[in-house]
Structure 1
Amino acid sequence: MGTQPALTVRTEERGAEIGDLFGIFFEDLNHAADGGLYAELVRNRSFEFDPIDHPDYHAFTAWEKVERGGSQAEISIGESHPLNGRNPHYAVIEIVAEGSGVGLMNQGFNSGISVKQGDRYLFSVFARRDASFHEPLTVTIEGKDGTVYGEAVVEVKSAEWTKYEAVITSNTADTDSRLVLLGKGQGKLYLDMVSLFPEKTYLNRPGGLREDIAKLLADLKPKFMRFPGGCLVHDGSLNPDDRNSMYRWKNTIGPVEQRPARRNNWRYNQTLGLGYYEYFQLCEDIGAKPIPILPGGYDPHHNRIVPIEELSPWIQDALDLIEFANGDASTTWGAIRAELGHPEPFGLEYIGIGNEEVGEPFFERYPYFHRAIKEKYPAMKVINSSGPFAAGTEYERGWQSAREHRSDLVDEHYYSSPEWFLANYHRYDNFKEDDPKVFLGEYASWGNTYYNALAEAAYMTGLEKNAHAVGLACYAPLLCNADYVNWKPDMIWFNNHEAYGTPNYYVQKLFMHHQGHQLLAIEASGLDAAPSNAKKPINGALTLETDRCSFRYWDIALVNDDNGELKELNGGLPCTLSDTEEDRRNGTKVRAIDLGETDWENYTITLKAQRISGPKGFNLAFGQTDGKNKRIWEFGGWQNQDSIIASHIDGRGSVLTQSLFNVEDHKEYDLKLEVSGRRIRTWINGRLCNVTEDTLPVIEPLYYSASYDRTTGDTIVKVVNVQDSPVNVDVVLEDWRKPLLNIDVHEMSGHSLDDENFFDAPDRVSPKRNQIRVQGNRFAYDFPKHSITVFRVK
Structure 2
Amino acid sequence: MKTEGTLTIHTQKRGAALGDLFGIFFEDLNHAADGGLYAELVQNRSFEFDPIDRTDYHALMAWEHIERGDGKTVITVEDSEPLNDRNPHYVAIDIVAEGDGVGLMNLGFNSGIPVKEGENYKFSVYARRETSFDVPLIVSIESTNGIIHGEAEIAVNHSEWTRYEAVIKSKATDSSSRLVIVTKGSGRVYLDMVSLFPEKTFMNRPGGMREDISLLLADLKPKFMRFPGGCLVHDGSLNPDDRDSMYRWKNTIGDVTQRPARRNNWSYNQTLGLGYFEYFQFCEDIGAKPIPVLPGGYDPHHKRMVPLGELMPWVEDALDLIEFANGDISSKWGRIRANLGHPEPFGLEYIGIGNEEVGAPFFERYPYFHQAIKEKYPDIKVINSSGPFSAGKEYERGWTSAKENKSDLVDEHYYCTPEWFLANHHRYDDFKADEPKVFLGEYASWGNTYYNALVEAAFMTGLQNNAHAVGLACYAPMLCNVDYINWKPDLIWFNNHEVYGTANYYVQKLFMNHQGDQLLEIKANGFTVPEERKVEAITGAISLGVDASAARYSEITLVNNVTGEVKTYSELSEEVSNLPDPAQNGTAKRTLELGETEWESYTLNFKATRTAGNKGFVFYFGKADDQNHLYWELGGWQNQDSIVASIINGRNSVLTHSMFTVETDVEYDLKLEVSGRHIRTYINGELINETEDKLPIIEPLYYTASVEDSTGDIILKTVNVQDNSVSAEIILEEMVKKDLSIEVYELSGYQIEDENNFENKELVYPKQTNFTTMGSSFSYEFPKQSVTIFRIK
* Shift, 1:143, TM fit: 0.5
* Shift, 1:533, TM fit: 4.0
* Shift, 1:587, TM fit: 2.7
Specify the code of the residue in structure 2 equivalent to 1:684: I
1:424 aligns with 424
Report the secondary structure of 2:773's partner residue.
strand
Aligned identity (percent) is 67
Mean alpha-carbon deviation: is it higher for 586-595 or for 85-94?
Answer: 586-595
- Conserved 8 A contact 1:8-1:731: yes
- Conserved 8 A contact 1:532-1:697: no
Report the secondary structure of 1:15's partner residue.
strand
Output one character per residue of 1:424-454: Cα deviation in whole Å (capped at 9) or x when no partner: 0000000000000000000111000011001
* Shift, 1:489, TM fit: 0.3
Output one character per residue of 1:514-540: Cα deviation in whole Å (capped at 9) or x when no partner: 100000000100011234645111111
Distance 1:497 1:534, change over 3 A: farther
Distance 1:514 1:96, change over 3 A: same
1:153 aligns with 153
Q: Distance in 2 between matches of 1:226 and 1:739?
A: 42
* Shift, 1:575, TM fit: 1.8
2:122 aligns with 122
1:625 aligns with 624
Q: Distance in 2 between matches of 1:589 and 1:757?
A: 42
Q: Distance in 2 between matches of 1:712 and 1:36?
A: 36
Q: Distance in 1 between matches of 2:2 and 2:190?
A: 84
* Shift, 1:637, TM fit: 1.2
* Shift, 1:565, TM fit: 1.1
Specify the code of the residue in structure 1 equivalent to 2:49: F
Distance 1:361 1:534, change over 3 A: farther
Output one character per residue of 1:732-774: Cα deviation in whole Å (capped at 9) or x when no partner: 1001111212110000011111110001111111110101211
Output one character per residue of 1:337-368: Cα deviation in whole Å (capped at 9) or x when no partner: 00000000000000000000000000000000
Specify the code of the residue in structure 2 equivalent to 1:214: S
- Conserved 8 A contact 1:7-1:732: yes
Specify the code of the residue in structure 1 equivalent to 2:634: F
2:287 aligns with 287
- Conserved 8 A contact 1:296-1:365: yes
Q: Distance in 2 between matches of 1:595 and 1:532?
A: 33
- Conserved 8 A contact 2:547-2:636: no
Output one character per residue of 1:161-202: Cα deviation in whole Å (capped at 9) or x when no partner: 000000111111111110000011110110000000000000
Report the secondary structure of 2:362's partner residue.
helix
- Conserved 8 A contact 2:4-2:726: no
Report the secondary structure of 1:397's partner residue.
helix
Q: Distance in 1 between matches of 2:636 and 2:673?
A: 19
Q: Distance in 2 between matches of 1:348 and 1:389?
A: 28
Q: Distance in 2 between matches of 1:629 and 1:734?
A: 47
Specify the code of the residue in structure 1 equivalent to 2:731: V
Residues 1:606 and 2:605 aligned together: yes
Specify the code of the residue in structure 1 equivalent to 2:623: Q
- Conserved 8 A contact 1:548-1:581: no
Q: Distance in 2 between matches of 1:137 and 1:305?
A: 49
Distance 1:584 1:505, change over 3 A: farther
Report the secondary structure of 2:458's partner residue.
helix
Q: Please list, as runs of the form range in 1=range in 2, the aligned pairs for 1:464-503 lying within 5 A after superposition.
A: 464-503=464-503
* Shift, 1:779, TM fit: 0.8
Q: Please list, as runs of the form range in 1=range in 2, the aligned pairs for 1:559-708 lying within 5 A after superposition.
A: 559-569=559-569, 572-583=571-582, 586-708=585-707
2:203 aligns with 203
Output one character per residue of 1:111-167: Cα deviation in whole Å (capped at 9) or x when no partner: 111111111100000000111111110001001111111110001101100000001
Q: Which runs of 5+ in 1 are unaligned?
A: none
Report the secondary structure of 1:367's partner residue.
helix
2:232 aligns with 232
2:359 aligns with 359
Report the secondary structure of 1:572's partner residue.
coil
Q: Distance in 2 between matches of 1:425 and 1:232?
A: 30
Distance 1:371 1:179, change over 3 A: same
Q: Distance in 2 between matches of 1:573 and 1:543?
A: 11
* Shift, 1:557, TM fit: 1.6
- Conserved 8 A contact 2:387-2:413: yes
Q: Please list, as runs of the form range in 1=range in 2, the aligned pairs for 1:639-788 lying within 5 A after superposition.
A: 639-788=638-787
Specify the code of the residue in structure 2 equivalent to 1:645: V
1:62 aligns with 62
Distance 1:534 1:246, change over 3 A: farther
2:441 aligns with 441
Report the secondary structure of 2:209's partner residue.
coil
Output one character per residue of 1:640-671: Cα deviation in whole Å (capped at 9) or x when no partner: 11110001111111010011000000000010
Q: Distance in 2 between matches of 1:462 and 1:712?
A: 24
Specify the code of the residue in structure 1 equivalent to 2:99: G
Q: Distance in 2 between matches of 1:134 and 1:409?
A: 62
1:266 aligns with 266
* Shift, 1:2, TM fit: 10
Q: Distance in 2 between matches of 1:230 and 1:401?
A: 20
Output one character per residue of 1:83-109: Cα deviation in whole Å (capped at 9) or x when no partner: 000000000110000000000000000
- Conserved 8 A contact 1:734-1:777: yes
* Shift, 1:605, TM fit: 0.8
Specify the code of the residue in structure 2 equivalent to 1:773: T
- Conserved 8 A contact 1:559-1:605: yes
- Conserved 8 A contact 1:529-1:699: no
Report the secondary structure of 2:123's partner residue.
strand
Report the secondary structure of 1:396's partner residue.
helix
- Conserved 8 A contact 2:3-2:779: no
Report the secondary structure of 1:547's partner residue.
strand
* Shift, 1:562, TM fit: 1.1
* Shift, 1:78, TM fit: 0.7
Q: Which runs of 5+ in 2 are unaligned?
A: none
Residues 1:84 and 2:84 aligned together: yes
2:250 aligns with 250
Q: Distance in 1 between matches of 2:583 and 2:573?
A: 22
Report the secondary structure of 2:512's partner residue.
helix
Q: Distance in 2 between matches of 1:587 and 1:679?
A: 37
Q: Distance in 1 between matches of 2:215 and 2:729?
A: 38
* Shift, 1:593, TM fit: 3.1
1:392 aligns with 392
Q: Distance in 2 between matches of 1:726 and 1:90?
A: 64
1:110 aligns with 110
Q: Please list, as runs of the form range in 1=range in 2, the aligned pairs for 1:308-457 lying within 5 A after superposition.
A: 308-457=308-457
Report the secondary structure of 1:546's partner residue.
strand
Report the secondary structure of 2:740's partner residue.
strand
Q: Distance in 2 between matches of 1:496 and 1:157?
A: 34
- Conserved 8 A contact 1:538-1:623: yes
Q: Distance in 2 between matches of 1:588 and 1:212?
A: 51
Output one character per residue of 1:273-302: Cα deviation in whole Å (capped at 9) or x when no partner: 000000000000000000000000000000
Q: Distance in 2 between matches of 1:378 and 1:585?
A: 64
Q: Distance in 1 between matches of 2:463 and 2:534?
A: 23
Distance 1:559 1:688, change over 3 A: same
* Shift, 1:588, TM fit: 4.4
Q: Distance in 2 between matches of 1:356 and 1:532?
A: 36
Report the secondary structure of 1:543's partner residue.
strand
1:789 aligns with 788
Q: Distance in 1 between matches of 2:209 and 2:532?
A: 48
Specify the code of the residue in structure 1 equivalent to 2:166: A
Q: Distance in 2 between matches of 1:132 and 1:472?
A: 60
- Conserved 8 A contact 1:35-1:496: yes
Output one character per residue of 1:212-246: Cα deviation in whole Å (capped at 9) or x when no partner: 00000000000000000000000000000001000
Q: Distance in 2 between matches of 1:476 and 1:227?
A: 11
* Shift, 1:777, TM fit: 1.0
